[in-house]
Amino acid sequence: MVKNTISSRAVPVRAIRSLVPHPLALAVATLLATPGAWAQATNEPQGATLQEVTISASGLALGSSEMTTPVTVLEGDALVLRRAATLGETLEGEPGMRSSHFGAGASRPIIRGMDGPRVKVLSDGSEVHDASTISPDHAVAVEPMLSQQIEVLRGPSALAYGGGTVGGVVNVLDRKIPTAMPENGLEGSVELRAGSAAREVAGAFEVTAGSGNIAIHAEGVKRDASDYRVGSGWAQGRRVDGSYNQTDTGSVGLSWIGDRGYIGLAYTSQRNTYGLPGHNHSFEGCHTHGDHLHCPDDGHGHTHAEDVGHGDEHSEEGVPFVKLRSERWDLRGEVRAPLPGITALRVRASHTDYQHDEIEGDTVSTRFQNKARDGRVELQHEPIAGWRGLLGVQASQRDFSALGEEAYVQPTETRSQSVFVLEEYRLGDWRFEAALRHEWQRVRAETSQVEVKHAGTSASLGTVWRFTPGYSLGASYTQAHRLPTAEELFADGLHMATSTYERGNPDLRRETARNIDLTLRKLAGDTTFSVSAYRNAMRNYIYANTVDEHEGLQLIDYTQRNAVFTGIEGQVHQRINSLWGVALFGDHVRARLDSDTGNRNLPRIPASRVGVRLDARWQALSGELEWYRVARQNRLADFETSTPGYTMLNLSVLYQVSQGRYPVQVYLKANNLTDTLAFAHTSFIKNAAPLTGRNLTAGLRVSF
């Protein structure tokens, strides 16, 4: 056991408890009052074409409408309003995306029912190395409040970052390394916000200064949030014990910028302290007998778990919590036209020293460490026989260890290398895209000295056909190999945060995904839409199979079976007039094992969702009223419980003004206006940590 004495947690500053007395009345008054005055003042044209957004992670600087598969991009005002404390919650409202939701401090994006290592998170094209793929109680080491743009892509472009990106790639763009000189030598922004549900106070700043060929950038975030309040009617009270979140993130970067490119280096430090709601320490001493769990009793005929009941949420030592530290160095560079026939050379490299302690009382019960190095080089070439694209190589090394009571994974070293190519060809109204990637991986367990090697080749073909002005049809086919992770291979032990006993399998083989994706878009006019349907057939799909359960503790084996994911997602927007617009959106995914016997359902698959948004814009004021319904999830895996459906009503209002030459944004968000008690089926701790209740957030952002 790793021991450490720490100081007691500081009491967070109390934010605004309630910004308005009647939030439902505010929603109606803001969006529906005096519609005549709004209509006569707006200057927004009707029938406009959707704004094109350049996708950085596409590798070829493609626009969002040119991608063969659906792309989600959050930027500008939409990003300011959507940003939350975690990446998963920030993307939660987008079609096809949900959050793993583990209280307030940790959540990863779930895309089309896929999570963990099947969804790769990037920091401006470079992999984020943390411990979030190991378990949902581990935070993603990315700060949404410092993001400039968040992109989610799939298909051929995603293969440039990994064959295992079956769910997709989430690329978080930031400004930590300047790529161009700031106008007038100085630019930046300051943002302050406060929320009621968790008495949250947060602030962020970023500033870039430059002279000659040298530019320097500094940025930071500080967040202080208490235990959050849930919707009304929860039997365990109004707040989730141990759901607080304290964050301190800072970065400084330096770049040399010339006429043909740049080279820059940045250092980022992140400190998080957040609680682990639902952590159940009552299973200490439980072990396995074959495929069954056994927990020692107290000599009176019942187990320790029965004595404790709901675990140690209300123990004298309080709820266990995580103390996270991440130190990261990033190197980024680009040279345009370095050689004849080469249009650009790009370099990305990172070094991460990550550690987080799971602390009970004043003792570190488990310490997770991840030291990782990652580098990639891309060469973009001029057209050859009409094909334009890039070639690249990537290599990484990851040394992971867990020490202490819950060291359920022995120390491992993972080394991987890969080569990839991404090409496009245009012919009239058609655009074709192709990608090929080959990966080698070696995972060595330090304790048992077992070494496992895998290799895989992934390929993807896609096309976009603009068959008539304003419309496009996209299609792609991908066959991808995902190589097993160290945790899936070598896990063996209790993990109390998720109330599981996990067992890996060193004989796991590579996973093969065959994906077909079809997307129909309308990009111009009063009616615009994007609708996608997909089928993902998985051979040797690796999943956490629950084989036994005891008083809430689940025995899970990492197992392989064939599986099929099918689904549909989309959004239709109708411009009513120069002021009003309405959108209908929704998503549905069905995931099941390809078997004729036994239970075919996979665990923690999101339920179907459908909703409507009413939006309005008048001069400097814009607003959005959103209603959506999440269905009941009763397609359950073994030992899984159903999750009731729920309805959410949200409101957001943003006002933009200029103070001199400084743009100012004032915004108000009201989420879960009806204070609905809701549970996330995707969460391991859904019953211990329901979703947040009524939450009112006010913010101010000033750019300069």
Return the SS3 of 113: coil
What's CA 43's distance to the chain center, in Å? Answer: 36
Please answer whether residues 16 and 196 qualify as being in contact, where contact means their C-beta atoms are separated by less than 8 angstroms: yes
Sites in the chain below the pLDDT cut of 50: 1-47, 298-316
Residue among 183, 344, 348 nearest 264 (CA):
348
Residue among 629, 606, 611 nearest 572 (CA):
611
Q: 196-274+318-703: what CATH class?
A: mainly beta
What pLDDT shows up at residue 302? 45
Q: Where are the alpha helices (DSSP H) in 336-452?
A: none
Q: Where are the beta strands (DSSP E) in 410-552?
A: 412-427, 430-445, 451-468, 471-482, 492-495, 500-503, 511-522, 527-550
Contacts 24+ apart (CB under 8 A), 284-291: 284/405, 284/494, 284/496, 286/494, 286/501, 286/550, 286/553, 287/501, 288/501, 288/503, 288/555, 291/547, 291/548, 291/555, 291/557
What is the pTM for the complete model shown?
0.87
Going 138 to 141 to 144 to 150, the CA torsion angle's sign is negative
Return the SS3 of 512: strand
**Residues 223, 226: Cα–Cα separation, whole Å:** 10
